[in-house]
Structure 1
Amino acid sequence: MKDGKPIPGAPTPEYKNDPKNPTKVLPNEGVPEVPGYNPKNPGKKITPENPTKDTDVPYVPIIGDGRIVINYVDQDDNDAILDTATPTGKFGTKITYTTTAEIKKLENEGYVLVKDGYTDSTGHSEFTKENDNHVYEVIMKHGTVTYNPHDNPAKPGEPINPNDPNSPKVTDNDVDYSKSVKETIHYVGAGDQTPSDNVQNVTLTRSITVDRVTGNIISSTKWQPSQIDYK
């Protein structure tokens, strides 16, 4: 029994008669094993006082070590596991782990949270047999940054993620977003009245999008004229 109540599924062996005196039962019998519980008085033998009635044997729950698993997964890298947390504690004790610090660390490295399957779920307020070794997933994806000469210029060598000491660096290719070209309009057919060549210096620009985690260029827009100087 636990707390004065029968334990569901616990074995209830029958008394064994004393072969020397069938009107009595054997004394000093051991108690049955109950999964997840220990006898309150381990080693104590049982001698029923009244063979016609059940004998209550007190048990206490086994307070074992529980564990849960939180995997931080990279959605953009075939669900590769970025990090794993394995909080442990005695069954029945409160789980104090939160994902806040690890998510912040990954965001500093250029990741973006997709879904926090640990915080958004239920059933993990304390360590229990039901959630023992349960695996939760926190899904992250790669963030991006777009460089262009107007709204977000960058310098080669500076970190893509300023809060990450191991951040990939901006490369020359990342800032290849502006160039000047010369266009000449040549007029003919008007004799002495033919105008001089019209030379135009055209500045072309584009935007370049970079993966904040890998530092790789993801895409770039088409070159577009942003300024024309006539001479």
Structure 2
Amino acid sequence: MEGSQNHFYINNPSADYYQKDGNTAATVPVFIITMKMPIIRVDADHPNELVDPSAYSRQINFVVKYDGAGKLTPKDNVQTIDFKRTVTASPIIGKIIEDGKHTTPWQSDQESFRFLSCLDTMPTRR
């Protein structure tokens, strides 16, 4: 049996999903229907327009600013680390399902920022 556009009907043929107390005027038939919400994997390779990209992709910048050497002052040194993960979400409402089937921990493309000596950043005199 097809479910609605938002959910799927779960059919368990081994179970009876109706009340069996008889067919009398005093008995109200009760049917139990189990529905399941669909879930999807969302990440940079599988985006979903309802899920904010910051839920699965972030950047952290490390900026070293130099000052006080006049024209010899080095330019700012900017380093970036990208963090990514996969989340489990509802494709209908875009809600993220914490600890869902597809959810992974955050992982970075590098473990730390590079160490820079001040001498490495100084412009050369000519």
Q: TM-score range by the shorter chain?
A: 0.3 to 0.5
- Structure with bigger strand share is 1
Q: TM-score w.r.t. structure 2 length?
A: 0.46
User: Whose Rg is larger?
Assistant: 1
User: RCO greater where, 1 or 2, for CA within 8 Å and sep 6 or more?
Assistant: 2
Name the TM-score, length of structure 1 as normaliser: 0.29
